[in-house]
Every structure is written in C-alpha cells, then in structure tokens.
Amino acid sequence: MTTPEHPSRGLELAYARVSTTKQSLERQLDALAAAGIPAERTWTDKKTGATVEREGLAALRAYARPGDTIVVYTLDRLGRNLREVLNLVHELREQQIGVRSLADPIRIDTTDAGGMGQIAFLLLALFAEMERTFTAERAAHARNVAEKGGRHVGRPAAHSPEKIEHARLLKAQGDSLAEIARKTGIPKTSLHRYLADPVVATDS
C-alpha cells in the first residue's frame, strides 16, 4: 500500500492479522472500517504461524507517531502469544502510541504514569479470551500442516474460530444471545459454551 502523509495531529491507525493463509481478513477489515478508519490507514499481515516477520506491522510502526492509537479487532491480533502482545504494548507505550481493541473500547493510556496499570488490567481481563484464540490458531496450523502431509487431525470443527471470535465481539458490544445466534448462525446451546465468562481463580 502507498504510505499516506502523516499529519501533525494524532491518528487512529488500524491493524489486522490472520495466522494462516486459509483465514480471511474480511471480518476484521469490515469492523475496522466501521470504526471509521479508512483503508489508507490500515495495515495487514496474513502469514502462517511459523512466520516471524510481519511486514504490515513493521510498516505501521514505522508510520505511527506519538499521540497515535493503533486499533485492532481484538488485542491478540498484535501478537502470536501473550508475551509478544505484552512486549509490543510496552514498546508502544514508550513511544507514546496508544492501543485500542474493538472488543473492549477502553483506550490504553500511554501518556501518564497510570498507563501500565491500565494495560495490566486490560490484559488480565482478556487473558483467557486470548489463550482460547491462540489455542485455536495453533490447532488450525497443525491441521494445515497435517493436510499438506495427507493426514487428518481431529474431527471437523462445528464452528470456525473466526465465527466464534465474531460471536465474542458481538457479546462485548452488548448483543443479546438471540441476536448473536442470528448474526453468526451458531445455536444458542453452543453459544452458552463459547461465551461463558472465564472463572477467576486464585491460582490463575
């Protein structure tokens, strides 16, 4: 994409990522566009789980300036595991670049001393959600590798990780179970399982 000229004021910059070539960026891009971020300020990566380089994210970080906010569909799009997300958010904070997830409209404040506390709160709240997503992505990558080798792994999934992720975003936006079922095609009986709030345990 052609890099747009950066104005002096802060901007919202969008980033979307999928971890396998079989996944689609469409849902993320639609949500980011609906949030008011134009295509010329949207960067993407579509790589396999084994690929370390993320050219889209590198280009976005080169473009971003202090006061900007990076907007993602869900926070886990920033990295392939929790450590990557934590490291990146910390680096962005040092550059005074904010982060916002559409699934949780809280903007991570990177400009004051309380910013790290807010980051920690948001990440802990999303930890279980992210781990479910990462597990699904690792399983998808394993299936992809197995299929290329002519092997079959596990039974076919009733609902794709992307569809489940969409359902969770709708829940975060306040949609009822009936509305989520209608929009995603996932039965309410399955939604109860997918959307169950993680239990907070003392040893977690």
Tell me which residues are annotated as active site.
19
Instruction: Provide the strand spans (E) within the chain.
Output: 12-18, 42-46, 69-72, 98-101, 104-108
CA angle, corner 198, sides to 109 and 188, nearest 5? 115
Cβ proximity of 163 and 185 under 8 Å: yes
Sign of the Cα torsion 63, 46, 16, 99 reads negative
- Give the residue ranges of DSSP H helices in 23-64: 26-34, 55-63
